[in-house]
Amino acid sequence: MKRIIKIGLGLLAIIVVIQMWSCQHDPLMSDDDSMMPIDTMTMDTMTIDTMQVDTIPLGIPCDPDIIYFSKDVLPLLISNCAFSGCHDADSAEDGVILESYEDVIMTADVEPFNLDDSEIYEVLVDQDEEERMPPAPTERLSADQIQIIARWILQGAEDLNCDPSLTACDSTSVSLANDVQPILNSQCLGCHSGAAPSGGIGLDSYGLIKNVADNGKLIGAITWSPGFVDMPQGGDKLSDCDIAIIQGWIDEGTMDN
């Protein structure tokens, strides 16, 4: 019997030792930081969340079939209407201000998609010299300029924007009539035309345009160079493409083409 008891106690001791050994494990943290458990995940198995990477929003190229308010309409209004004594913020003739999109929509009676109910268009084509705008003796807007405003209204009179720098620009073999004149018409002619043009500089004939192109005043003003008055006055600087087109025409000899 004693032999059996000794054998049983021996087996029990062995079992206890085995259980104690099986419960041993590496500590979660030791005094030595190098003993911390190593993350076995490798870069090959990690997934990078690309949605968190900051991206720069891309601009929208200008569509030649769309009239853009800031690029096409506002320069016409600034040069022909939004000046002192007429429709700038200080004068606000008849309560109409034409210095920004918000001002035009709030004060100029614009009815999207409808020319007949848009006073801003009606005053441009009014045959009554006492009612039409710009008022006499200022020259009327040209047919092309009026068409720009009409198209903008018929397209919904929205404040659409685009990035002219993303649009293909051809500044070689440019034409005065097809390339340069449209820029001057929309950006400059409101101030620089008629019997008393602003600053005594007219741009409503080939001879006048050639004169300021040849003497450097035109390119100096539109590039906002030191010593020149920035043009368009009170408006945004011409796009790089518009400047390149005018410079290209000058470089090719300021021809009447």
What digits encode the pLDDT tens for the residues 104-153?
A: 999 999 999 999 999 999 999 999 988 899 888 888 888 888 999 999 99
Report CA 189 to chain centroid distance, whole Å: 23
Q: What's the pLDDT tens digit per position in 29-64?
A: 444 444 445 454 444 444 444 444 444 445 889 898
pTM: 0.65
pLDDT of amino acid 58: 59
Cα-only R_g, the chain: 37
- State which H helix or E strand residue 250 sits in: helix 240-251
